[in-house]
Structure 1
Amino acid sequence: MELLNDMALFVEVAQTRSFRGAAAATGVPNSTLSRRISALEKAIGLRLLHRTTRKVELTEAGQVYYERCKRIVDEARIAHEQLGEMLVQPSGVLRASLPVDFAVIYMAPLIAEFAARYPGITFDFDLTPRRVDLVAEPFDVAIRIGELTDSNLIARLLARFSVQLYASPGYLERAGEPSHPTDLARHQCIGFPKAGKWALYRGEETVEVEVGGRFYVNSVGMFRRLATLDLGVILLAEEVAAEEVAAGRLRRILPDWQTRPTPVYALTETRLLPAKTQRFIEFLKERLGTKK
């Protein structure tokens, strides 16, 4: 990088034929310019400039070096300017790993909105449930729900979702509606494998209840669907349940009780992000931010 900077300074001196003019153009003091060019000549082993008290002229070697260096410096400047343009209007392929059910049920409309806002970006989404390796695999960002294990990844909190209890009207008509969390022990509760106990909170009051049922699945979309088919009680983020509640297929129960808010994170391998990734994270935080 220091060599490229010295080449750029040499090009400026060669173009202005003056250390004073180059100093004015670059903001680098005259004495520093002279010292840096002298060091460059020493490193190359050839004199690049004829210096007199009145003017600066290129030597034969200096002319050859100038022609080569100017192209390199111009290319570097163009590359820098193009990156600046990307910040104004991001473009390129955004590769993201997303939670399967959350992406399909909740994020799809947000992604459509983001795509309309930034037409220069194309998308490559991985919706498998596996935990992708952001260091070894070519992903720009991973969206993750729930508390994180310790890692060297950069985690940005996007939102915290409120998780509530829901059941279908048909199930409640058949099994009765619980009036207290302890009533859940006698209900069919649908959840993730090894869910064991559900911890529910009302203000400062906490109740842990041992739950059970016939269905344990590792898919939010699946247990939401099973609940609409009158098969039991579920814990679900309000945002993910909203469509079913609006359609009357699910109803919130024990409205004074809820679980701890569930965090949503954007994970990246580095803090130095291309514009497409930075904008995507900012957009999700903006749209999900009211859910903190």
Structure 2
Amino acid sequence: MNMPRADDLILFAQVVDTGSFSKAAELAGVTNSVASKRISKLEEELGTQLLYRTTRRLTLSEAGRLLYQQARQIKMATDRALDTLSGFGEKVSGHIRMSVPTISGELVLADAIAEFCDRYPGLSIDMSLENRFVDIIAEGMDLVIRTGYLDDSSLIARHIIDSRWAICASPSYLERHGTPRHPEDLRQHNCLRYSYQSTGASDWAFKNKKGPFTVRVEGNMTTDNAAALRKAALAGYGIIYVPRCLIYNDLTQGMLTELFPQQVGKKLGIYAVYPTTRQLPAKIRLLIEHIRQRYLAIAHYF
């Protein structure tokens, strides 16, 4: 078996990262046909198929998955070497794969990421909006914006901002069903539950002088989509417990009424999470700082 060239391994990693021969070819500064031939030659040298190609998508073979982990390490090492030479100036290029929560993605990051790409024309970013906790290493992510807690020692997290949660309902709902005066009163109301919570959809967290406590609520709707809960609350169908940033404008415009603002006990950190590395690539460092500044610009939402 011939020893593969490092630049072919890097190209292979770029094909997997971008999910496209044409995008990887553009990043590598070669034509699509040249990129395809180099990957075919790599497969020939290794004596195994790395990618299954269809008209719609590329899928890694078992050998491809194993090689990708190593090829990506070579690519990251090369990026770090180039960062060392170029410093932290304006020469930022390459590709970034990242995953962000849906609320943050729609509220802050869609615009922030587009602005960052516009600032650095040599850079491309693949941003996935999803609420699940992705496996950063296994799924080849460069950066994840995560709300909650970090318990993986192989990852590094930088705190960006804290996100307070709020309980609210529309004035029409409160007019029809009455306004709860104490957290325990929520047991008598239709509480629309958000299943994407570390404490559980039905256990709403509070605090008082004695410390934290929970109230178990019930309701006729549960969903993992906070935007759906917001719409249901605006329509007057129940009480919700969601990140305050989601309903900030609704509160200021009087479309929703906040309940127990001094007693709600849920506050989660928002973090930029990335794999452990000796030297963080400049493009990731700059992106994290850009994202942080965009969050801080609307800190009052949180």
Q: What interval of TM-score do these two structures reach, taking the shorter chain for normalisation?
A: 0.5 to 0.7
Structure 2 CA distance for partners of 1:253 and 1:117, relative to 1, 3 Å: farther
Query: Which consecutive residues of structure 1, in runs of 5 or more, have no partner in the other structure?
Result: 1-78
Structure 1 residue 260 and structure 2 residue 266: aligned? yes
* Structure 1 residue 93, shift from structure 2 partner: 2.0
Tell me if structure 2 keeps the 8 A contact 1:190–1:223.
yes
Tell me if structure 1 keeps the 8 A contact 2:207–2:263.
yes
Structure 1 residue 288 and structure 2 residue 289: aligned? no
- 1:174-253 equivalence runs, <5 A: 174-193=176-195, 194-202=200-208, 205-253=211-259
Structure 2 CA distance for partners of 1:82 and 1:189, relative to 1, 3 Å: closer
Percent identical pairs in the alignment equals 33
* Structure 1 residue 117, shift from structure 2 partner: 4.2
Structure 2 CA distance for partners of 1:105 and 1:288, relative to 1, 3 Å: closer
* Structure 1 residue 82, shift from structure 2 partner: 7.2
User: What SS class does the counterpart of residue 183 from structure 1 fall into?
Assistant: helix
Structure 1 residue 274 and structure 2 residue 281: aligned? yes
- 1:104-123 equivalence runs, <5 A: 104-123=106-125
1: CA distance between counterparts of 2:82 and 2:178?
A: 66
Tell me if structure 1 keeps the 8 A contact 2:160–2:270.
yes
Equivalent AA in structure 2 for residue 88 of structure 1: G
- 1:1-292 equivalence runs, <5 A: 84-85=85-86, 87-89=88-90, 90-193=92-195, 194-202=200-208, 205-271=211-277, 272-289=279-296, 290=299
How many residue pairs are counted as aligned between the two chains? 214
User: What SS class does the counterpart of residue 190 from structure 1 fall into?
Assistant: strand
User: What SS class does the counterpart of residue 144 from structure 1 fall into?
Assistant: strand
1: CA distance between counterparts of 2:143 and 2:81?
A: 24
Q: What TM-score do the two structures reach when normalised by structure 1?
A: 0.65
Output one character per residue of 1:160-189: Cα deviation in whole Å (capped at 9) or x when no partner. 111111111111111111111111111111
User: What SS class does the counterpart of residue 87 from structure 1 fall into?
Assistant: coil
Structure 2 CA distance for partners of 1:270 and 1:188, relative to 1, 3 Å: same
Q: What residue number does 1:25 align with?
A: none
Q: What TM-score do the two structures reach when normalised by structure 2?
A: 0.63
Structure 2 CA distance for partners of 1:267 and 1:236, relative to 1, 3 Å: same
Equivalent AA in structure 1 for residue 288 of structure 2: I
Q: What residue number does 1:29 align with?
A: none
2: CA distance between counterparts of 1:209 and 1:81?
A: 54
Tell me if structure 1 keeps the 8 A contact 2:144–2:274.
yes
Greater C-alpha Rg: 1
2: CA distance between counterparts of 1:284 and 1:116?
A: 14
User: What SS class does the counterpart of residue 139 from structure 1 fall into?
Assistant: coil
Tell me if structure 1 keeps the 8 A contact 2:164–2:268.
yes
User: What SS class does the counterpart of residue 291 from structure 2 fall into?
Assistant: helix
2: CA distance between counterparts of 1:153 and 1:142?
A: 10
User: What SS class does the counterpart of residue 282 from structure 1 fall into?
Assistant: helix
1: CA distance between counterparts of 2:208 and 2:110?
A: 32
User: What SS class does the counterpart of residue 223 from structure 2 fall into?
Assistant: coil
1: CA distance between counterparts of 2:151 and 2:81?
A: 37
Equivalent AA in structure 2 for residue 87 of structure 1: F
User: What SS class does the counterpart of residue 165 from structure 1 fall into?
Assistant: strand
2: CA distance between counterparts of 1:81 and 1:280?
A: 17
Tell me if structure 1 keeps the 8 A contact 2:99–2:143.
yes
Structure 2 CA distance for partners of 1:208 and 1:135, relative to 1, 3 Å: closer
Tell me if structure 2 keeps the 8 A contact 1:227–1:233.
yes
* Structure 1 residue 251, shift from structure 2 partner: 1.9
132-141 vs 177-186, which moves further? 132-141
Structure 2 CA distance for partners of 1:150 and 1:83, relative to 1, 3 Å: closer
2: CA distance between counterparts of 1:82 and 1:277?
A: 11
Tell me if structure 2 keeps the 8 A contact 1:181–1:207.
no
Output one character per residue of 1:227-278: Cα deviation in whole Å (capped at 9) or x when no partner. 1121111112222211322443322122222223111111111233221111
